[in-house]
Every structure is written in structure tokens, then in C-alpha cells.
Amino acid sequence: MSHDGRIALTRDGVALSRLVFGAWRLLDGGVRPDADQVARLIGTAVDLGLTSFDHADIYGNYEVEAAFGAGLSRWNGKREEIELISKCDIMLASANRPQNRLKHYDTSAAHINASVERSLGNLGTDYLDLLLLHRPDPLMDADETAAALAGLVKAGKARAVGVSNFTPSQFDLLASRLPFALATNQIEMSVLKTSALTDGSLDHEQRLAYAPMIWSPLGGGSLFTGKESREARVRAALAAVAAEVGAGDLAAVAIAWLLRHPARLVPVLGSMKPERLAAMVKAQEIKLDRQQWFAILEASEGRPVA
């Protein structure tokens, strides 16, 4: 981590903000935001220190990137002040992709190159700061995929490349064919989804010293809306810890729980509400001690550690 809290992903200077803005739900509200509204949201995020924006070609049924790009063109900041992340390889069965008869994955060079060109055009930029393979593809030819990714870096279309939802062994296979290190693995984790602690993912990240990005860090909102006993237990534990540390917001404590891990987890925040984003960035000021961290884990697992 550098002194300003940014997370270095590569040796040659690609870095992300400590917390990332996730754009998946940009078009999920009842009314589609216009370009000026998106520009204001981008400005709010940047003012809060969320300079990195996480996209995928498929978000919003293949429509989020273009809506975000329209907003970006109205935003009064400079391209170099932000980082744009996108992903490819999921092929949705969608009216926007009539050639896809069913949902599948595609890590062929042809698809990766075509998808990146579309993402660049939609976002209105000539480079991505980070390109991720969205899901492991059982038909991935590691040599072909690695050559395509390396070609995009060489051409300056992606400053860095990484993966998402890969097991350590899938990561190692692709990494073995690349002339540079994979920058990250974006995985699911939250106070409600703790499997990365024990399935080898975070061990792999610390061993290779890359910073994992974390998706659905609030369980996609189920932390607040969920009616299961696990969610209720975790909310009670978060409230108890919030009272101890003087935090006003349970979501901020849930994010602080992720930030406490030594593998330098980079949570991708999914809220589209400026006031919720503002509350969550305060997670960076919350320091949980070991017993507070374990109290939240215990509530999630429903039992003390062995």
C-alpha cells in the first residue's frame, strides 16, 4: 500500500483507490439516469476518494458501460484521475446479443479482443486500467488467452490484466503463460460469505502478494434486507462493534472487517446512493481489534472458532 492508501497492483504504477465504485447496478433504479446524473455520481465518487470504477461488458444487460461513458463525457475531471476496470468472457443470452443461444463463457482471443474494443468505445476511452476475465472458462486455452491478454497490454489497451472468480489453480495456470504477473483476482467475500478465508484464495493472494478485489462486500444488500438468522446475528454483532468503536454505520463496520485482513482486500462498493457511499468510506478510519473481528466471524459462522 502506498502512503495515500492507494493499492498498487503492478510494479509499473497501476494502482486502485482503497475502495472501488462498482457500476453493476447503475441502471437498476426505476428511472434510467441521464448523462448529467451519471456525471454527478462520478464526481461524488471521486470526491469521496473512489477513483476506481468497476465495470463489465455485460452489466445492465450490456448497457451500463455506454451509460457510464455518456456521464464520463460530461464529467469535468481528467481521464488520468480515475481508473477504469472492465471484464469480459461471460456471454449472456440477451436480446442485445441474439447470437448467444444460452449463457456461456468465451476466453478465445477473438472474443476478448472484440469485447475490449466495445468496452473502450462504450466508455469513451482508449485504455482500460485493468481488464479482468470475469469467470473461469472450462474451455480456456491458456496459451491463446494469455497471448490475447499480453497483446492488449502491449498495445496499450489495458494497463494491467487479472481475473475474477478463479480458483488458485486456475489463476496459476493462466499466470504460467504470461510474461507479467496477473494483477488481481476479484472474488466474492463479505461478513456473510467467508469461504475465501479457508478455501485457499486469501492464502494464494498473500503468497503471491497481489491485492484481491472483493465483490458484494455487503452480500449484495442482504446484510440489511436478509431475514435469515445468520444475517440477523451478523447485524447484531456489527451493531455491538459499532457501539464499541463509535461508528455510526453498520455497513462501514462490515467494510472495515474486510479492510482488517492483511491480504489488502479492495472492496468494490455496490451502492448507488451518495449518502451510503459517504458512510462507507469512513470504514478506512475504523480499526477493529482481533476480538472485534472474531466476534463478527463468530456471528457469521454461528459458532465460536474451534
Ligand X SMILES: NC(=O)c1ccc[n+]([C@@H]2O[C@H](COP(=O)([O-])OP(=O)(O)OC[C@H]3O[C@@H](n4cnc5c(N)ncnc54)[C@H](OP(=O)(O)O)[C@@H]3O)[C@@H](O)[C@H]2O)c1
What residues are annotated to the active site?
Answer: 59
Give DSSP secondary structure letters for the chain.
Answer: --TTS-EE-STTS-EE-SSEEE-TTTT-SSS---HHHHHHHHHHHHHTT--EEE--TTHHHHTHHHHHHHHHHH--S-GGGSEEEEEE-EE--BTTBTT-SS-EE---HHHHHHHHHHHHHHHT-S-BSEEEE-S--TT--HHHHHHHHHHHHHTTSBS-EEEES--HHHHHHHHTT-SS----EEEE-BTTB-GGGTSSHHHHHHHHT-PPEEE-TTGGGHHHH--SHHHHHHHHHHHHHHHHHT-S-HHHHHHHHHHTSTTT-EEEE----HHHHHHHHGGGG----HHHHHHHHHHHHTS---
> What is the distance, to the nearest Å, from the Cα of residue 150 to the centroid of all Cα atoms in its chain?
22
Q: How far is the CB of 254 from ligand X (least distance, A)?
A: 9
Q: Which of 77, 124, 200, 220 binds ligand X (CB under 6 A)?
A: 220
Our finding on whether 52 is near ligand X (CB under 6 A) is no
Q: Does 77 bind ligand X (CB under 6 A)?
A: no
Candidates 62, 276, 282, 297: give the one binding ligand X (CB under 6 A).
276
CB 92, CB 105: distance < 8 Å: no
User: Quick one: 39 or 41, whose CB is closer to ligand X?
Assistant: 41
Asked if 212 is part of the footprint of ligand X (rule: CB under 6 A), the reply reads no
32 binds ligand X (CB under 6 A): no
Site string for ligand X, 131-160 (x = CB under 6 A): ---x--------------------------
* Residue 200 makes contact with ligand X by CB under 6 A: no
Choose between 30 and 98: whose C-beta lies nearer to ligand X: 30
**By CB under 6 A, residue 251 contacts ligand X:** yes
Distance of alpha carbon 3 from the chain centroid = 22
Range in contact with ligand X (rule: CB under 6 A) among 43-51, 72-80, 197-205, 265-273: 265-273
Q: Which of 68, 210, 215, 257 binds ligand X (CB under 6 A)?
A: 215
Residue whose CB is less far from ligand X, 54 or 231: 54
- Output the smallest distance, CB 304 to ligand X, in A: 26
Only segment of 21-29, 69-77, 101-109, 155-163 that touches ligand X (CB under 6 A) = 21-29
User: Which range of residues in 8-16, 70-78, 217-225, 228-236 is near ligand X by CB under 6 A?
Assistant: 217-225
Contact positions toward ligand X, by CB under 6 A? 22-25, 54, 134, 164-165, 186, 215-221, 224-225, 251, 268-273, 276
